[in-house]
Chains A and B, each alone.
Chain A
C-alpha cells in the first residue's frame, strides 16, 4: 500500500478541499497521513521521513503558496527523501496569471505535478497511478 502525506501549507486555514482529497485518496486505497491546515513545510517532510511516504500532496489556497513552497524539493533532499513524488494544487498565486506560467514556476521549484483550482480528485488519482507505474519502471514520472 502506498503512503501519502497531505496538508495545507503555510498560514493557510482552508482545510475543506484538502480533506475531500484525502478522503478520496483513502477510498482509492492509499494510506493517508493527513496533517491538516496551517502546516509548515518541514512538518510535511518530517512526517514523510517517519512514515516512509511515497508521495507528498501540498495544498495552498490563499495565494501565498509561492513563498511557502520555495525550496520544498531542496528540503526533501536535505532530509534524505529527495526522490519523493510531490504534487501541489490550489490557488497557487495571487491574482489572475496564465496557468502555464504558474505551472512552470512550480515545476521549476521541483514539484512533479501542479494542479489548478477545480481539479477533481479522480484526476489526481489517475495521475498518481500513472506516476507510480512509471516509477516502478524506473522513470521519474509518467509522460502525461
Chain B
C-alpha cells in the first residue's frame, strides 16, 4: 500500500500565517496550523511557527506533493487603476483589479492631471493598471495618461490593457523613460464587451514575478514551491471551481461568497446575472461572471460607525435587542479594541447584529437592481448589475461567521427582502459555512489538481440548516 499524497496550502495573511494540510487521495483536511504574520521582519519566522503548530497537531509532517501559497500580507496587492469613461473602461479596470485579488487604493478616469499624479505617487501602488478606449476607439486619453505616467517617477510595474492601437505609443513613452510595461488584451475590446481575464492573468504574472519578491515573501522560498496569487484571488478561484464543477462532476451551481472581515467585507459571485424576467432590459456595463466586490467601509472592527450609520441606529438597535445607549457604548468599546472578541451576552448580541448588517449591506451593494421605466408602450423593467435571485448556494466565511453563534441568521441577512423588492439578492439559496477556511486552499489546489480540489471543497463546506429567528426557511 502506498502512502496517501498530501498538499500544503499556505495563506500569508495580514495578521496570521495560516496552513491547511490536505490529503489528496481522500480529499479532506488532515490538519491546520497557524502562526503570526512576520512579513515585516522575516516571513520565515511566522511560517516556521505555523509549521510547528501543524506538526504538533499531526505528530509528524507528511512529505508534501505540493506546497502552494497565496498572500495578502504586507498590505495586500495594492493597485491603482486608470481608465477613460468612469462607467465604462474605468469600471472595467476596477473589475479586473478586484478580480485579480487586488486591494484597490485608487481609481482614476479621463485624463490624468498633475494633481492625480501626485496622488498616485503618494498612494505608491504595487501595480498600476492603465486602460482606456475600445480597440480602434479613443487613443488620445490613454496616450496622454501613458505619457504622464511614464514621465512620473513612478517605479511600480504598469499593466496596459487599453486600446490596442495605443499600445505602441504608450510603450514607446515608457521605454524612453527607461521603464517597461506589461501588455494584455483590452479590458473592453468592443463597446460594452467586458474582457477582464487577460488583464487579470497579466496582473497575476506581475504579482508572482515581481511583487512576491518586493514584499519579501520569497525569503521563505525554500519552504514552499510557489506563491500563486493574492489570497482574495484564490478565494475567487475556489468559488468558481465550487460553482462550475468540472470534468463531468457538477458543482454547486451559481453561487455567492460573503467574507466578513475586520477591515473589509468581500462579496464574490459566480453567475452571469443577466435578466431572467421576460422583457427585462439590461443597462450598463455587463458584469463579470466571476465578480468580486470589496466594501472597505464595512469592516466588523474598523468601520463599526459607518455600518451602524448606514443601517440606521434604530434598526440596528432593534435587531440587536439593545438600547441606543448600550449600542453607543459597545461601538466605542469595539472600535477602540479592534482585536476584542465578544465576551458578555450584550457584546455577542452587538457583534451578531453588526455581522448581519455588514452582510446585508455588502450583498445589497454587490447585487443588481431593477427599476420600472414607464414608457408610452407600458412599463418596462430595467436592470442594472447582476440578477442573483436564483443563486443556488450562498457561502459565508470570516471570523464573525466562523466563531460567532447563529451563523445561519447572519448569512440570512444576505437574502432577498420583501421590503426591498428592487434589489436582486438571492431568494432561497442553500446556505453553507466555510468554517475551516478552505476556499483559498481550494482555489490554490484548483491550479494543480482541479478534480481533487473540487471533491475537497464540496466535502468540506458545512451546510447550514436555516431556522432563523425571523422565520425564513430555505427551500434547499
Contacts and interface: CB of A to CB of B under 8 A. Distances in A.
Interface of A: 1, 3, 5, 11-14, 31, 33, 36-38, 43, 46-47, 49-53, 62-64
Contacts, number: 65
Contacts of A13: 375, 377, 380
B281 A50 contact: no
A52 B138 CA distance: 4
B382 A51 contact: no
B87 A46 contact: yes
Contact of B136 (A3, A11, A47, A64): A3
A38 B382 contact: yes
Interface in B301-337: none
Contacts of A62: 375-377
B84 interface: yes
B298 interface: no
Of the four ranges (under 10, 10 to 19, 20 to 34, 35 or more), the interface on chain B belongs to: 20 to 34
8 contacts: A13-B375, A38-B382, A46-B85, A50-B89, A50-B133, A51-B137, A62-B376, A62-B377
A13 B376 CA distance: 9
A83 to B, nearest CB: 14
B142 to A, nearest CB: 11
A51 B373 contact: no
Closest 7 CB pairs of A and B: A51-B137, A52-B138, A11-B375, A33-B191, A52-B137, A46-B85, A50-B88
Contact of B133 (A1, A12, A52, A64): A52
Contacts of A37: 281
B87 A52 contact: no
Contacts of B87: 46
A106 B139 CA distance: 31
Given A33-B191, A37-B281, A49 B376 contact: no
A38 B84 contact: no
Contacts of B89: 50
Contacts of B281: 36-38
B134 interface: yes
A117 to B, nearest CB: 16
A11 B281 CA distance: 12
Main secondary structure on A side of the interface with B: loop
Contact of B137 (A12, A14, A50, A63): A50
A123 to B, nearest CB: 26
A46 B136 CA distance: 16
A51 B375 CA distance: 29
> Most chain-B Cβ atoms within 10 A of its Cβ — which of A13, A31, A36?
A13
A46 B380 contact: no
A38 B136 CA distance: 26
A51 B191 CA distance: 7
Contacts of B88: 46-47, 50
Interface string B372-400: 01111100101000000000000000000
Contacts of B132: 50
Contacts of A53: 137
Interface in B134-172: 134, 136-140
Contact of A49 (B84, B139, B382): B84
Contact of B139 (A36, A47, A52): A52
B376 A63 contact: yes
B259 to A, nearest CB: 33
Contacts of B137: 3, 50-53
Nearest to A47: B191
A43 B86 CA distance: 12
B315 to A, nearest CB: 33
Contacts of A49: 84-85, 138
Contacts of A11: 373-376, 380
Contacts of B380: 11, 13, 38
Given A3-B137, A11-B380, A47-B192, 5 more contacts: A43-B283, A49-B85, A50-B132, A50-B133, A53-B137
Interface in B46-77: none
A98 to B, nearest CB: 23
A88 B277 CA distance: 31
A52 B382 CA distance: 27
Interface string B329-356: 0000000000000000000000000000
Contact of A51 (B138, B140, B283): B138
